[in-house]
């Protein structure tokens, strides 16, 4: 089979060569860990990307099969199954139609389409968006083995997809929004079926639940691969933890995620680093610094540089935009964990007190111009914004206490608001919002912006794996990020995530 036909569109990695993902576990940094290589990360970043694009043809040509999509409560199975009869051909055609419908719902092209998607999502805010597929593996002594991949999609542009991210209260020790998305996927375990694999194994039927139960055995014919970007990386962590608690063996599961947020409260997981999931993080990316208190698995952080930024960030580079980003950089640089995210966000809210809602709306439009609800708000924008701001502040304080177990530092937020006011006086609220958007979105992308050869995370897997810096999170009374010496077996002295960011922050960020 031609490697050109089965190569990943962003990295060129073979989609059919699974050896990088199925190599033996090795002792690394004082613990047994899944295989880790540039090829493994490239294959998984391709899988994270195809969960958004649904361009599955190269994967089908590479031997992946029994593909299923679960989006907004709609489960579509058997995508691309081969057959010889006209009915099989019709089924493939219908699969394509269904997939195009799903693409429209995931990536709405206009405001009306986005609103329709939001209305539909209102009934299932916490539904999982998941791609599942299998690939045969060479078995020992002639036995049959299979890699079962689960790729969790991140947040899409739709309004209601973001509601889960904002539900930050503690539920059973985890970020409430991420946990509930995970539960929606877990509820699919007995609906997801794999008839082709069942026939090969001589089974009457085979469900995803059966596969997970088999992975609790040493002789399991299945290996689970977890992939996720953004919110998808958060869901992958919680799902992996749930399965480990249920008895699934660590050696039968491995995860490779990108831009994953923090998911657990400080005391929820005693040994977060034992979850066999790697998280590739871009130090410029603010999303992985937010969520709950800590992340499960091993962090691999790329210290962002000008090579990455020029190759993959769609930043306007004229003098005005560069100057605005430089003005905002001291504020975005304060964000290094969820607590500081709350402080900076509340500082911004405090700085907007006293403005009419009509004055604040330009900032919202600069951030999300495609949200139709903003047009309706603008028609009713005669009320002061203070009432809305106070409501949001109360919710933020309650969420902070719930997920971090301590009060939000409003004194610190007030200090930050004074800095925001100075910047607002200089360039205005809309310019601040526009600069923030420029600094927030390109570092987070897994799909390239139009006109760019690379997005941030594929670029890192191609050119930056030798610079990835490992670290793990510890819980207890107070969460900490512990940096690991790449060349030693044990961890170094604990450092906060803020210290990690400060150590590798570039002087120029324009």
Residue 257: name the closest of 290, 291, 232, 293 by CA: 232
The residue to which tokens 């997920």 are assigned: 403
CA atoms 377, 378, 379, 382: torsion sign: positive
Residue 309: name the closest of 456, 107, 502 by CA: 456
CA angle 295, 299, 303 (to 5 degrees): 125
**Least-confidence region, from 153-162, 229-238, 253-262, 482-491:** 153-162
**pLDDT value at position 6?**
77
**Domain spans in the chain, listed from the N-terminal domain onward:** 19-314+449-504, 315-441
pLDDT tens sequence across 447-482: 999 999 999 999 999 999 999 999 999 977 778 899
More confident residue, 161 or 100: 100
Mean pLDDT of 192-220: 97
Whether 233 has a pLDDT exceeding 50, the answer reads yes
Query: Are 275 and 240 contacting, i.e. CB atoms less than 8 angstroms apart?
Result: yes
Q: Is 359 exposed, middle or buried (0-12, 13-18, 19+ CB in 10 A)?
A: middle
Torsion over CA of 412, 322, 258 and 445, rounded to 10 degrees?
A: 130
For 229-248, the DSSP string reads ETHHHHHHHHHHHHHHHTT-
- Residue 26: strand, helix, or coil: strand
Residue 57: name the closest of 22, 116, 8, 108 by CA: 8
Report strand pairing: 222-229 vs 145-152.
parallel
For residue 487, what are the contacts with CB-CB under 8 A and spacing of at least 6? none
Mean pLDDT of 430-453: 92
The pTM for the full model equals: 0.87
Whether 129 has a pLDDT exceeding 90, the answer reads no
pLDDT tens sequence across 149-162: 999 998 754 444 44
Looking at the DSSP bridge assignments, the partners of residue 453 are: none
Confidence tier at 353 by pLDDT (50, 70, 90): confident
Number of alpha carbons in the 13 Å side-chain half-sphere of residue 67: 25
Average pLDDT along the chain: 83
Looking at the DSSP bridge assignments, the partners of residue 279 are: 257, 299
């Amino acid at each position: 089979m031609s490697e050109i036909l089965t190569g990943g569109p962003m990295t060129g990695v073979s989609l059919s060569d699974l050896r990088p993902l199925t190599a033996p576990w090795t002792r690394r940094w004082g613990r047994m860990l899944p295989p880790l290589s540039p090829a493994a990360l490239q294959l998984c970043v391709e899988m994270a990307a195809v969960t958004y694009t649904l361009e599955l043809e190269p994967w089908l040509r590479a031997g992946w099969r029994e593909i299923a999509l679960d989006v907004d409560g709609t489960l579509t199975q058997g995508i691309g199954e081969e057959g010889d009869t006209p009915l099989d051909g019709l089924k493939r055609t219908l699969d394509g139609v269904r997939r195009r419908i799903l693409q429209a719902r995931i990536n709405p092209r206009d405001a009306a389409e986005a609103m329709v998607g939001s209305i539909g999502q209102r009934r299932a805010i916490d539904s999982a968006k998941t791609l599942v597929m299998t690939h045969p593996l060479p078995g020992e002594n002639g036995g049959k083995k299979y890699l079962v991949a689960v790729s969790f999609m991140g947040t899409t542009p739709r309004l209601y997809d973001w509601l889960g991210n904002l539900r930050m209260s503690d539920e059973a020790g985890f970020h409430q929004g991420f946990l509930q998305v995970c539960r929606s996927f877990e509820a699919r375990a007995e609906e997801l079926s794999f008839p082709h694999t069942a026939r090969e194994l001589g089974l009457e039927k085979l469900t995803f639940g059966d596969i997970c139960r088999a992975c609790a055995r040493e002789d399991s014919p299945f290996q689970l691969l977890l992939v996720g970007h953004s919110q998808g990386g958060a869901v992958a962590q919680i799902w992996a933890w749930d399965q480990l608690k249920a008895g699934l063996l660590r050696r039968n599961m491995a995860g490779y995620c990108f831009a994953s947020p923090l998911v657990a409260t400080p005391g929820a997981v005693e040994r977060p680093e034992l979850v066999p999931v790697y998280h590739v993080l871009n130090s410029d990316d603010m999303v992985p610094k937010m969520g709950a208190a800590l992340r499960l698995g091993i962090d691999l952080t790329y210290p962002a540089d000008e090579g990455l930024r020029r190759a993959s960030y769609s930043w306007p580079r004229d003098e005005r935009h560069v100057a605005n980003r430089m003005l905002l950089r001291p504020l975005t640089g304060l964000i290094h964990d969820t607590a500081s995210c709350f402080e900076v966000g509340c500082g911004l809210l405090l700085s907007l007190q006293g403005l009419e809602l009509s004055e604040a709306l330009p900032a919202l439009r600069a951030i999300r111009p495609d949200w139709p609800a903003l047009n309706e708000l603008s028609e009713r924008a005669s009320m002061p914004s203070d009432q809305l701001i106070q409501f949001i502040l109360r919710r933020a304080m309650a969420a902070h206490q719930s997920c971090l177990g301590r009060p939000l530092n409003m004194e610190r937020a007030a200090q930050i608001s004074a800095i925001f006011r100075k910047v607002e006086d200089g360039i205005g609220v809309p310019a601040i919002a526009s600069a923030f958007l420029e600094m927030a979105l390109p570092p987070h992308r897994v799909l390239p912006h139009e006109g760019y050869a690379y997005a941030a995370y594929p670029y890192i897997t191609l050119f930056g794996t030798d610079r990835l810096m490992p670290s793990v999170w510890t819980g207890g009374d107070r969460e900490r990020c512990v940096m690991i010496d790449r060349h030693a077996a044990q961890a170094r002295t604990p450092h906060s995530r803020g210290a990690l960011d400060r150590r590798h922050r570039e002087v120029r960020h324009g």
